[in-house]
Structure 1
């Protein structure tokens, strides 16, 4: 049965971490900023004590892996990035196939150096990939909705921009590391056959 921790503020989280540190670490191994930083990060995450304890544990593991004599502030920052990446990877695994294809189109465009990806560009690549794997092609409006959902999940960052006489479009930027995201997407047997697919370099499409 899952244990539910009530939300805590940074000071309470600090106390919890100090108690855990007494049993989990040797004396004077933690740099003095480590516990306050773990507490501050976790307080931002709705005061989640489990997140605070995970941060401290992963910070210790990263310190050990780097053969550092102490757990340093940089290990906490690395741990925060690692936990967030792991969380997003888990979210990506559970996405429906159509959402995975939309995300993969953004990843592929990003990989060929397109940093300002428009909805129209992503949709063109998405359609090509649907044809390759024999999946129904959604309308551009529906794909735009899926992009908004990925934005809400913290996987993409979609911003509405004006293109003058071309009207308005969404520019998409990835909020996740492309390498680990690609790896997870290609674990899906339907997307596996797209591993060798490379989108053509394209002229900007303001749609």
Structure 2
């Protein structure tokens, strides 16, 4: 008998437990979907449509709700001869500037039409914008542009100024661009330039974390499809929901916990997934979440993490935010990335503290220095470097930090200049 055999006692169809699975309906988001529908209705009515921004932490349903709503919008728009609708979807996960987003939009449009893509380098930003306007004009009608994880562009927000004004500025004639921005950062809008805030005129929809009572009805239909009948103990789904609600309120985390519990039962060759499997799965996922939490940080978050890792490599921690900010700005300069204010850096540090990546210490030195906070990593430096090295933009800096960690005297001149 071979080493690998097809499972016939735990998973009937594991697809509903995959991140890419799109459910037939969206549960526990009625209020958000109602707002979403109202925001998109003007497209069907052939009226001017506001841009839409969705905010919420990872796993709160923003992306799946957008796919669900746009699917219905496209189907319903097809019933009206006078509604000309196109959608363009770009993930900004690895895009850190308006230039890169514009190139990605051009190439996504051309890809859908089986046409050659443009190079990611070699153009001025204005030229890329001009090409994008030409592509949008050729589409005509209403073009819904989805920018998923838009917060990755940081301060490089020209694309959010140019697209909404393209029609009024005469850059396009026969098209109405509508932006749907999806962000994991509730404070992303606060960091936009005043002219962008004024131009966007967007409707905001907030997706709060799920509680346990909301997560259970999300998990139940997936569990019914994914597992053979009778394989799950009655406490398994409620426990998965409770663990995820207590931690992040993420449906994605709850689904992964359920899948991991099933895989543990499969590995033990038992015919029941129990509460104990869920608890073991939770321990395993907690380790993985530290890596995932670091990987899912925005470009600015990675830059802040980089600055803290450098201080850790020099064994100069805990560190005050003002000292950490100086290093952060130098790292941004070296990466040719925009830097944010010290207040925003503290916001990123607060997010990393909630993720369990760093420790925060409150100091009080009385009248002489007052009250302040100091920070240091709460995960192994090697784990941080592993994540940074897997991100192309931070590879060079991560290698310098690694060398510094090996010997505090190595590459001092190089480090002090960035």
**Shorter-normalised TM range:** 0.5 to 0.7
State the shift of 1:104 in Å: 0.9
Query: Which residue matches 1:171?
Result: 374
Query: Which residue matches 1:5?
Result: 27
How many pairs were matched up? 192
Select which of 328, 341, 345 maps to 1:146: 345
Query: Does the 8 A contact of 1:59 with 1:79 survive in 2?
Result: no
Please say which structure displays the higher CA radius of gyration: 2
Select which of 71, 77, 85 maps to 2:290: 85
Return structure 1 stretches of 4+ with deviation > 6 angstroms. Answer: none
Q: Secondary structure at the match of 1:191?
A: helix
Select which of 108, 116, 119 maps to 2:321: 119
Select which of 44, 49, 57 maps to 2:259: 57
- 2:396 maps to 1:193: yes
Query: Does the 8 A contact of 1:9 with 1:43 survive in 2?
Result: yes
| Change beyond 3 A, Cα 1:136–1:27 | closer
Task: Compute the TM-score of the two structures, normalised by the length of structure 2.
Answer: 0.36
> What CA RMSD, in Å, does the superposition of the two structures yield over aligned residues?
4.4
Query: Does the 8 A contact of 2:240 with 2:278 survive in 1?
Result: no
Q: Secondary structure at the match of 2:296?
A: helix
Query: Does the 8 A contact of 2:322 with 2:342 survive in 1?
Result: no
Extract unaligned runs of 5+ from structure 1: 202-207
Distance in 2 (CA, whole Å) between partners of 1:32 and 1:114 is 50
| Change beyond 3 A, Cα 1:5–1:79 | farther
Query: Does the 8 A contact of 1:13 with 1:49 survive in 2?
Result: no
Q: Secondary structure at the match of 2:400?
A: coil
State the shift of 1:163 in Å: 3.3
Extract unaligned runs of 5+ from structure 2: 1-20, 29-209, 410-418
